[in-house]
Structure 1
Amino acid sequence: MQNVFWKCKPFDQLSPHELYAIIRLRNEVFVVEQNCVFQDADDKDQRCFHLMGYHDNQLVAYTRLVPAGVSYPEISIGRVITSPAHRALGFGKALMTQSIDHAYRLFGKQPIQIGAQLYLKKFYESFGFVQVGEVYDEDGIDHIHMVKE
């Protein structure tokens, strides 16, 4: 895998350029690529940490690290994105490894809950997540809740 430089910051320490890159990547994947019309600005970002992976000074991977009690009773990893132009290069696996490590560092080692797109179930299982509950529809895409103990 190619070199990735990782940054993790709380919302109020993001530069305008970092915030713009995050919003641009989230729109590129969740709105345009996945053809979902949804309210991405959900008032959770301000309470979260933002993990950014850069390659050649370009944001190529991102997650939102969510404290317990914001999305779920457990801590959470959300808005998991790898740039479409940089997929199949191992950035997604590196992103999840970094996300789990950073979540434990920030919030302590405790269960992590995610709302995962169903087609990525095996990907998340490879990191120790297990499905809890039934399949549900979110913005026209099948999802499942998963927890890593």
Structure 2
Amino acid sequence: MTPREWRCEALDAMGPRALYRVLKLRSEVFVVEQQCIYLDPDGLDEDAWHLQGLGEDASGGEIVLAYARLLAPAFSSPGHGVPGTPGAHASPATAPPPASQPAARIGRVITAPSARGTGLGRTLMQEALAACARLWPDVPIELGAQAHLRDFYGSFGFVAVSDVYDEDGIPHIDMRRESAAR
């Protein structure tokens, strides 16, 4: 399955149906499939850019095949509820120290179950990095990766900046890429 269109837009531009489709996919995977009971709408969506890979279902309706949430450096600094930072899911003892330069953040990275195994995750990350480079040129990017995906994100230039920590029962590791423009 290949997206017919990529959109990167602020919440105000999405419209209620698009927002519903994004939140539904996030809940299907992060809450139900991964069995993590947590409040997914965490207050950051209103200030984020929402990258969506859109396709069509069997009846011709629009579906979200891939998604990532992009946060500006001002909203991804420690204390803003970003996983892996103090005040979020990770305990302060396991969270990394604040980076010297604020970074953009890619989060809520997801590929729909129907599109897995197609290489769409790699395309999604390429689109996310390109969007970050357009929105915040020459700014580092961080993400909180599930630990088993460390090599996947490493293939995009991300390096570990924390030890593995538990987030909602799933091992995670914080990673950083020094520039969105690379």
Scaled to the shorter chain, the TM-score interval is over 0.9
Distance 1:68 1:39 in 2: 23
Distance 1:32 1:71 in 2: 26
Alpha-carbon contact 2:3-2:53 (below 8 Å) kept: no
CA shift for structure 1 position 69: 2.6
Taking only aligned residues, the RMSD between alpha carbons, in angstroms, comes to 1.2
TM-score between both structures, scaled by the size of structure 1: 0.96
Q: Which amino acid aligns with 1:30?
A: F
Give CA-to-partner distance per residue, 1:13-66, whole Å, 9 cap, x none.
111110000000000110011000011111100111000001223210000010
Point out the more displaced range, 94-103 or 49-58. Answer: 49-58
Q: Which amino acid aligns with 1:121?
A: R
Relative to its length, the structure with more helix (as a share) is: 1
Alpha-carbon contact 2:68-2:110 (below 8 Å) kept: yes
- Cα 1:58–1:100 change in 2 (3 A) is same
1:104 alignment counterpart: 133
- Cα 1:3–1:85 change in 2 (3 A) is closer
1:61 and 2:90 are equivalent in the alignment: no
SS at match of 2:41: coil
SS at match of 2:149: helix
Give CA-to-partner distance per residue, 1:94-145, whole Å, 9 cap, x none.
0000000001101112110111110111110111100011111111111001
1:7 alignment counterpart: 7
Q: Which amino acid aligns with 1:81?
A: I
Percent sequence identity is 46
1:89 alignment counterpart: 118
1:21 alignment counterpart: 21
1:71 and 2:100 are equivalent in the alignment: no
Q: Which runs of 5+ in 2 are unaligned?
A: 57-61, 78-101
CA shift for structure 1 position 3: 4.6
Q: Which amino acid aligns with 2:169?
A: G
Q: Which amino acid aligns with 2:154?
A: E
Relative to its length, the structure with more strand (as a share) is: 1
- The number of residue pairs the alignment matches comes to 149
- Cα 1:112–1:24 change in 2 (3 A) is same
1:143 and 2:148 are equivalent in the alignment: no
Q: Which amino acid aligns with 1:75?
A: A
SS at match of 2:142: strand
Q: Which runs of 5+ in 1 are unaligned?
A: none
SS at match of 1:36: coil
SS at match of 1:128: coil
1:124 alignment counterpart: 153
Which has the larger Rg?
A: 2
Q: Which amino acid aligns with 1:58?
A: I
Distance 2:159 2:15 in 1: 35
Distance 1:106 1:78 in 2: 15
